[in-house]
Structure 1
């Protein structure tokens, strides 16, 4: 059987598609970190959908991005220079600040709050 090789190389100086995607994500991670006094991350594999990059700012703000793969997510956080946690628990999770919006959305799933979706 013949081997099939996929060429993901881009034009000279542009990098592969994964490299370009990681660079774009790193730029967004950096912007989040700058806006929130720094940031740390945790990567959550989502199967075929990719990997979620959960960000927690030093001020307690949080957000997330989705990378097309774990390789892209790892490259993005490395390029952005943020600390990556293995798990979303303990002191790291305790730093997340939630407000009335988040609580009402979480409650909406179970106790008659606003519906999600």
Structure 2
């Protein structure tokens, strides 16, 4: 019997863990670039994706997209991300917007 015959396919849990570790690396890189820490919220985008909204210690914001809510939650956990229930309130107040965001928001109004 060859080793190919005894190999088992990756379990769903193993795939979740691999994907989450990859996303956690991006979260940690974002945090390192923006004051050394970040906070965030995990939100459903739809049936096929989840968005992790990040806010750095310096007020910069960004995001990561995960294929499922479970992957997003696990990535946040692996990165040590402080999670909030929603983007409103405390987390939203930490965001610092610049001229680019204000110009884009004004453009939507026109």
> TM-score, normalized by length of structure 2?
0.84
Aligned residue for 2:78? 79
Q: Which has the higher contact order (CA 8 A, sep 6+)?
A: 2
CA distance in 1, matches of 2:27, 2:96: 18
Question: Per residue, is there more helix in 1 or in 2?
Answer: 2
1:108 aligns with 2:107: yes
CA distance in 1, matches of 2:101, 2:55: 15
- Residue-by-residue CA offset, 1:55-80 (whole Å, 9 max, x unaligned): 00010000001100000000000000
Aligned residue for 1:42? 41
Structure 2 spans left out of the alignment, 5+ residues: 1-7
CA distance in 1, matches of 2:95, 2:25: 22
Three-state SS of the structure 2 residue aligned to 1:48 is: coil
> TM-score, normalized by length of structure 1?
0.80
Q: What RMSD over aligned residues (CA atoms) do the two structures have, in Å?
A: 1.6
1:17 aligns with 2:39: no
Structure 1 spans left out of the alignment, 5+ residues: 1-6, 112-117
Aligned residue for 1:59? 58
Task: Report the alpha carbon displacement of residue 89 of structure 1 after superposing the two structures with TM.
Answer: 1.3
The alignment of Structure 1 onto Structure 2 pairs a total of residues equal to: 101
Is the 8 Å Cα contact of residues 43 and 54 (structure 1) preserved in structure 2? yes
